[in-house]
């Protein structure tokens, strides 16, 4: 079987160990695996990864040392061309021209939606792998990259807390997550922050300020608020301004962590998940599966139709907000 693999959309720590697992599983099963560079855009440009001995077929050694490497050696992109019917048909023709039997796509919502569109005009097998820091896909408890992003955010918030403590300050720390507050909520709980502002649970400025007054009366000198990028307030700086106008009793600063969360060496959790899902994706192809995403739910490796995975953005568990408010009291 000739399999192509690509990473698309925002990169996520763990994409490289996932590729390592895919390539080595395919090699073990005597399948031919081709790395497609720069996601769907690279597919349209016929950009293939050049492995050992100038060959486009990836060998066992072409993925050496990838367990601990952040980013993706295949490079990624957000292709505008692939979002048009002509672009999708052109991609299908290129897959036919190079005699691919199957395609593995690693990425988030946009990547998997692209895979669905491609599946409508291309007869080969397609399996998606959840690679995004956002953890906003149905069909898996965790996406590849989420653990590392939270780990990086917690490290940053811990450092900011030192300064907040020294200067009796409040920090608004913005983390990525366009449609899902999972990174913000998990970071808040793990770092001992007092407040999480997430798109799933909007709170009025007056309510937040009332909570901040209580926090001050309770004797806390520093406060950390973790703001999801997708929060309706418009991010950390906007939230800082809104709460100041509403009477925030704390002097404050705002920090945007942004793309820092997408980088760095993947955590062991992400490396293990990436290895398991990469292996499972190739095995699923060999069993004839197509149009599905691999994931892990309650410890079990599962396949879910792509349409179900991207039907909506999975939401953060707002019950965890209750936990946050209790443990941060
Ligand atoms: O989807 C992953 C993600 O990192 C989101 O959290 C964020 O909103 C977006 O990508 C940023 O995309 P870009 O790097 O294209 O600005």
For residues 160 and 47, give the distance between their C-alpha atoms in angstroms, rounded to a whole number.
42
Q: Whose CA is nearest to atom 10 of ligand 1?
A: 10
Our CA angle for 26, 301, 35, nearest 5°, is 30
**Annotation: CATH topology of 2-145+266-309:** Rossmann fold (3.40.50)
* pLDDT for the residue numbered 51: 80
Q: In the chain, where does the domain assigned CATH 3.40.50.460 lie? A: 146-262
The DSSP bridge partners found for residue 176 are none
Share of the chain above pLDDT 70, in %: 100
CA-atom Rg of the chain in angstroms:
22
* pLDDT for the residue numbered 232: 84
Q: In the chain, where does the domain assigned CATH 3.40.50.450 lie? A: 2-145+266-309
Q: Which residues are catalytic?
A: 134
Residue 178: pLDDT band (50, 70, 90) is confident
Cβ 128 vs Cβ 309: under 8 Å: yes
What's the whole-number mean pLDDT along residues 35-62? 94
Summarised one tens digit per residue, pLDDT across range 247-268 is: 999 999 999 999 999 999 999 9
Instruction: Express the helix, strand and coil content of the chain in percent, nearest 5 each.
Output: 45, 20, 35
Confidence (pTM): 0.97
Atom of ligand 1 nearest to the CA of 262: 4
Q: Whose CA is nearest to atom 3 of ligand 1?
A: 10
Share of the chain above pLDDT 90, in %: 95
Summarised one tens digit per residue, pLDDT across range 135-151 is: 999 999 999 999 999 99
Mean pLDDT of the chain, nearest integer: 97
What's the whole-number mean pLDDT along residues 158-168? 98
Sign of CA dihedral 245, 247, 251, 253: negative
Q: Is residue 122 predicted with pLDDT exceeding 80? A: yes
Summarised one tens digit per residue, pLDDT across range 194-232 is: 999 999 998 999 999 999 999 999 999 999 999 999 888
Pocket of ligand 1 (CB under 6 A): 10, 78, 108, 132-134, 176-178, 229, 262
Q: Is residue 103 predicted with pLDDT exceeding 80? A: yes
Beta strands across the sheet bearing 125-130: 32-35, 2-7, 102-107, 125-130, 292-297, 300-305
Q: Is 135 helix (H, G, I), strand (E, B) or coil?
A: coil
Domain 146-262 has CATH 3.40.50.460: yes
What's the whole-number mean pLDDT along residues 227-242? 93
Q: Is residue 52 predicted with pLDDT exceeding 80? A: no
Q: Is residue 79 predicted with pLDDT exceeding 90? A: yes
* pLDDT for the residue numbered 132: 98
* pLDDT for the residue numbered 264: 98
For residues 288 and 101, give the distance between their C-alpha atoms in angstroms, rounded to a whole number.
11
Residue 16: pLDDT band (50, 70, 90) is very high
Q: Which of 137, 148, 176 has most ligand 1 atoms within 8 Å of its beta carbon, as the pocket-test mutant?
A: 176
């Amino acid at each position: 079987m000739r399999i192509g693999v690509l990473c698309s959309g925002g990169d996520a720590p763990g994409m490289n160990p996932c590729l390592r697992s895919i390539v080595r599983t395919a090699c073990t099963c005597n399948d031919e695996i081709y790395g497609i560079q720069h996601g769907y855009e690279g597919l349209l440009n016929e950009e293939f990864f050049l492995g050992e001995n100038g060959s486009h077929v990836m060998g066992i050694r072409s993925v050496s040392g990838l367990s601990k490497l952040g980013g993706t050696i295949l490079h990624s992109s957000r292709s505008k061309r692939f979002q048009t019917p002509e672009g999708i048909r052109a991609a299908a023709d290129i897959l036919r021209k190079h005699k691919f039997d199957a395609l593995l796509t690693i990425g988030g919502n946009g990547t998997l939606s692209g895979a669905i569109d491609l599946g409508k005009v291309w007869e080969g097998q397609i399996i998606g792998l959840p690679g995004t820091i956002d953890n906003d896909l149905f069909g898996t408890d965790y996406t590849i990259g989420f653990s590392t992003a939270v780990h990086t955010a917690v490290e940053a918030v811990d450092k900011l807390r030192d300064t907040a403590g020294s200067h009796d300050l409040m920090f608004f720390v913005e983390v990525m997550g366009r449609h899902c507050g999972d990174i913000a909520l998990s970071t808040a709980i793990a770092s001992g922050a007092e407040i999480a502002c997430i798109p799933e649970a909007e709170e009025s400025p007056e309510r937040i300020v009332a909570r901040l007054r209580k926090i001050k009366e309770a004797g806390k000198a520093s406060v950390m608020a973790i703001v999801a990028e997708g929060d309706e307030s418009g991010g950390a700086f906007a939230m800082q301004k809104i709460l100041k106008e509403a009477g925030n009793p704390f002097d404050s600063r705002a920090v945007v962590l942004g793309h820092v969360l997408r980088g760095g060496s993947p955590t062991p959790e992400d490396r293990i998940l990436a290895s398991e899902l990469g292996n499972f994706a190739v095995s699923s192809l060999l069993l004839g599966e197509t149009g599905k995403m691999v994931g892990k739910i309650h410890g079990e490796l599962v396949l879910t139709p792509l349409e179900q995975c991207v039907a909506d953005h999975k939401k953060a568990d707002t019950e965890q907000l209750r936990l946050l408010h209790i443990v941060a009291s």
